Amino acid sequence: MKKFNWNYPTTMWVGENRIKDMTLACKNLNLKKPLFVTDDQLVNKKIVKDTLINLKNENVTVEVYSNVKGNPTGTNVYEGVNFYKEKKCDGVIAFGGGSGLDVGKAIAFMSGQTLPIWDFEDVGDNWKKANSEKISPIIAVPTTAGTGSETGRASVILNEKTGVKNIIFHPKFLPSIVILDPTLTIDLPPNVTAATGMDALAHNLEAFCAPGYHPMADGIALEGMRLIKKWLLEAVKNGSNIEARMNMLTAASMGSTAFQKGLGGIHSLSHPVNAVNNIHHGLSNAIFMPYVLSFNRDVIENKIVKVCEYLDLKDKSFDTFLNWVLDLRNNLNIPHKLSEVIENNDFDLDKLSKMALNDPSTGGNPKKLTLDDMKIMYQHSMSGELF
């Protein structure tokens, strides 16, 4: 596989075995002692150990922080910041899936701030409260093809006191260098490949359907969906297919790049069940997708026809696209109903609906959403009944 260097939306080094260029990335950013941030499962894997050995052999001193959970918390971030300062680090290598990347980016950001992290929630101009000169450099290395956090300008962090997932935003959350290496994703099990791939689809789809004028985001989102249509099933069925893995990594980065235009109801419904019920974000996005599509049908039907045309689906109609999504989920063994992953007695409709309505993604939905709308979509997702 050829190697490529891109410069949009940031410096991106793309191709097989590009992880070996990590030392060069550190040198380019003048990092002498980076903090390597990853999750508590990945830290003991061979890909992490090999990367750390390579850095050590090139005389790069690395400290490691790995107390990161699947739905990362403010505690994870503050522990990492304290460790960063204690070890006198000068930058962050964020390595892993969405949790490792989000925490790594947040540590780099908060290492130079005096206000609490929640003061920088993505509301209004909160980001302007930050000291932009004190944000540390970030190298991002995704090991899953889903969140696209490596090309995002935000981190999603759970506030344990409120039980709410907050989107923390600043333009300098965008990493300085991104390494997309498909060899790092080969060992992902099929169910994780499926869920993260559906996460990438949700990002591209909601970005394309979001209202507003952003032709660049629309173009990226369309091509991202085409890559997912072509390669996701292959990546799940044949995880050693480097070409499939590379294209899924690319599609994930494209989704995050595109959703600067906006997200919508899929994410609004997902974030509360991720926070309260600890459901994997990609899995919940996959479950909610057809219900939100159906709810928004009357305002997105023309856009979905354009998606059908670009994806070269046989019939160009909303129903064709909806059935494609349903068939894709079925082939990926994604549950059709939320009740298949959450017990009824653990499902607090009123609480979750209020959280969903207040989620920052709600404003990007193509149709204005009310509390009753959230309740209806949750109820449909639990029963399995489409609109």
Question: Position of tokens 């060992």?
Answer: 187
Residues 142 and 204 in one domain: no
Q: Which of 184, 219, 236 is the last residue of a domain?
A: 184
Res 387: pLDDT = 82
CA distance readout (Å), 124 to 120, 129, 169: 10, 11, 10
Residues 271 and 333 in one domain: yes
C-alpha 209/C-alpha 365 separation (Å) is 8
Where are the strands (E) in the chain, listed by range?
4-6, 11-14, 35-37, 63-65, 92-96, 138-142, 154-159, 164-169, 177-180
Per-residue pLDDT of the chain (387 residues; tens, 9 = 90+): 789 999 999 999 999 999 999 999 999 999 999 999 999 999 999 989 999 999 999 999 999 999 998 889 999 999 999 999 999 999 999 999 999 999 999 999 999 999 999 999 999 999 999 999 999 999 999 999 999 999 999 999 999 999 999 999 999 999 999 999 999 999 999 999 999 999 999 999 999 999 999 999 999 999 999 999 999 999 999 999 999 999 999 999 999 999 999 999 999 999 999 999 999 999 999 999 999 999 999 999 999 999 999 999 999 999 999 999 999 999 999 999 999 999 989 999 999 999 999 999 999 999 999 999 999 999 999 999 998
Residues 261 and 317 in one domain: yes
For residues 161, 164, 169, 173, the Cα torsion angle rounded to the nearest 10 degrees is 80
Other CB atoms within 10 Å distance of the CB of residue 86: 9
What is the domain extent for residue 261?
A: 188-383
Query: HSE on the CB side for 159, CA within 13 Å?
Result: 14
Cβ(65)–Cβ(36) below 8 Å: yes
Res 7: pLDDT = 95
- With a CB cutoff of 8 Å and minimum separation 6, the contacts of 209 are 264, 296, 300, 303, 304, 366
User: Which amino acid does the sequence have at 323?
Assistant: N
Residues 218 and 360 in one domain: yes
Residues 81 and 209 in one domain: no
SS (H, E, C) 84-102: HHHCCCCCEEEEECHHHHH
C-alpha 278/C-alpha 292 separation (Å) is 21
Residues 57 and 199 in one domain: no
Res 299: pLDDT = 98
pTM for the whole structure: 0.95
Residues 42 and 97 in one domain: yes
Residues 119 and 216 in one domain: no
CATH of residue 193's domain is 1.20.1090.10
Other CB atoms within 10 Å distance of the CB of residue 310: 17
Residues 70 and 204 in one domain: no
Give the 3-state secondary structure percentages of the chain, helix then strand then coil, rounded to 5: 60, 10, 30
Residues 287 and 208 in one domain: yes
Q: Which of 166, 184, 202 is the last residue of a domain?
A: 184
Residues 178 and 192 in one domain: no
Cβ(362)–Cβ(269) below 8 Å: no
Domain count, the chain: 2
Q: Which of 140, 165, 184 is the last residue of a domain?
A: 184
Residues 22 and 45 in one domain: yes
